Amino acid sequence: MTQFSSQHPEPFKIKMVEPITLVNRTEREKALENAGLNVFNLLAEKVFIDLLTDSGTGAMSEAQWAGLLSGDESYAGSPSFLHLRDTVTEVTGFPFVLPTHQGRAAENVLHSAMIKEGNVIPGNSHFDTTKAHIEFRKARAIDCTIDECFDPTIDHPFKGNVDLEKLENAVNKHGVENIPFVLITVTNNSGGGQPVSLENIRSVAEFCKERKLKLFFDAARFSENAWFISTREPGQIGRPIPEIVHEIFSYGQGMTMSAKKDAIVNIGGFIATNDEEIFEVCKQYNILFEGFITYGGLAGRDMEALAIGLKEGMDHAYLTSRIEQVKRFGDSLHEAGIPTLRPPGGHAIYIDAKRFLPHIDQEQFPAQALVCELYLESGVRAVEIGTVLADRDPDTGKNRPPELELMRLAIPRRVYTDNHLAYVKDALVRLYERREKIRGLKFTHEPKLLRHFSARFEWV
């Protein structure tokens, strides 16, 4: 049956296009072999539909492109910096703003200012660069996300929530003096792009306030998180996104931002805080690592595009069309019987590799195997969020297979049509039909740090 009916049409039309081509199966086999069965090593021209990440891959608007031309490139005190700073303050309420070249750079600066050896940083699931920056400083990240997050079949509206009891246990165990801040990541990327409720954020904030703990946000997808609150949370339905965003940040002392996500720029990030003391220390590290405090590793034009994108990314009609597209894609896979993490996330659909490939042991990287097979089948690039990404335990040196073994299909913003995603769905259906023939992988090269990005494998 052919279905052709409108659902939440995109509030834009397409002005510029970039050709993509599907290279044939033989070429894909060769390309993947050369890449050591790691899609991070693939040349992008060998990829047809690229769902590796939603980071820096969005399509900028005409207003953002115009901002690239009007950006001011003064080393110090650029009006583009002022535009960025004032926009960040207007959106988040935080008066002190430092630009950085991307999210992990903001983490590097903030963590240098705040984290010491032996510290712990509790929160919901930490993103891998965040965790790596924490562990690099011989500190530890403690995942206090609610249990529902770790069962991919449970349909819970706010699977990114922090479990207050787990948080309390972590604080009691390690002591307030060893916790420089509690971190909430919105949305919870590592746990399936799942939102955190406003009520949960309030409770965590209250908990922190009682114990004089600081609360920070990893805010890469704060607009998408606010959209979920405005559509799912009792008492918040229909509330304007900017209002929700403002309230979220009012509960914290600061944030790091990878602007490559919800601010729809190809590069950029920042730190924002209301704590002048922390800001003063961060300034020094920003100059050391990033650049002067009024550009922080960005060109003036990048700051201009970022300032514009930060607001565009909060537009309700845009967020509805985006997140509903991700949901349609996820629901179509679910209806086809393919095991996915439910409910669909804000920026990505996650395939549950444990249920897709139950015959492959986690030590043989089933999600990574699935990523390879999907590329061979269709030229589509996904990414593993499983045992490879989880790295080895820094204390024991052992693999630490995570509860969720996932293949993530991240959807770039304003880039692909439903028809592109239907192509991906059809490929996954064919893979699912022949899933029993898919084999696991083993390392041929395993780097010590962040192995996900440069490891090489062979088929078992």
Given 50, 54, 128, 163, which residue is catalytic?
Answer: 128
Q: 83: part of which helix (H) or strand (E)?
A: helix 79-92
Q: How far is the CB of 256 from ligand F0G (least distance, A)?
A: 7
Q: How far is the CB of 264 from ligand F0G (least distance, A)?
A: 13
By beta carbon distance, the residue nearest ligand F0G is: 103
One-letter amino acid at 342 equals R
Nearer to ligand F0G, 127 or 365 (CB): 127
Q: Are 139 and 115 in contact (CB under 8 A)?
A: yes
Is 347 a catalytic site residue? no
Is 220 a catalytic site residue? yes
Give the three-class secondary structure for 352.
strand
* Listed residue (188, 185, 118) closest to 159, CA to CA: 188
| 133/281 Cα distance (integer angstroms) | 17
One-letter amino acid at 450 equals L
Given 75, 138, 317, 361, which residue is catalytic?
Answer: 75
Give the three-class secondary structure for 334.
helix
Q: Are 364 and 401 in contact (CB under 8 A)?
A: no
Nearer to ligand F0G, 75 or 453 (CB): 453
What is the CA 325 to chain-centroid distance, rounded?
A: 17
Beta-strand relationship, 269-273 and 96-100: antiparallel
Nearer to ligand F0G, 103 or 152 (CB): 103
Q: How far is the CB of 312 from ligand F0G (least distance, A)?
A: 18
Q: How far is the CB of 447 from ligand F0G (least distance, A)?
A: 17
Q: Which ranges constitute the DSSP H helices of 362-433?
A: 366-378, 387-390, 418-433
Is 261 a catalytic site residue? yes
Tokens of 48: 């047809």
Nearer to ligand F0G, 189 or 236 (CB): 189
Nearer to ligand F0G, 71 or 192 (CB): 192
Q: 443: part of which helix (H) or strand (E)?
A: strand 441-445
Binding site for ligand F0G (CB under 6 A): 53, 55, 102-104, 127, 129-130, 185, 189, 218, 220, 258, 260, 269
Q: How far is the CB of 289 from ligand F0G (least distance, A)?
A: 13
Q: How far is the CB of 3 from ligand F0G (least distance, A)?
A: 31
Given 111, 131, 214, 261, which residue is catalytic?
Answer: 261
Given 131, 216, 452, 455, which residue is catalytic?
Answer: 452
Tokens of 327: 């949901």
Nearer to ligand F0G, 100 or 364 (CB): 100
**CB burial of residue 368 (10 Å; 0-12, 13-18, 19+):** buried
Given 218, 262, 302, 352, which residue is catalytic?
Answer: 218
Nearer to ligand F0G, 133 or 283 (CB): 133
CA angle 309, 310, 315 (to 5 degrees): 85
What is the CA 198 to chain-centroid distance, rounded?
A: 19
Tokens of 188: 């919870």
Q: How far is the CB of 184 from ligand F0G (least distance, A)?
A: 11
What positions carry a catalytic annotation? 75, 127-128, 218, 220, 261, 452
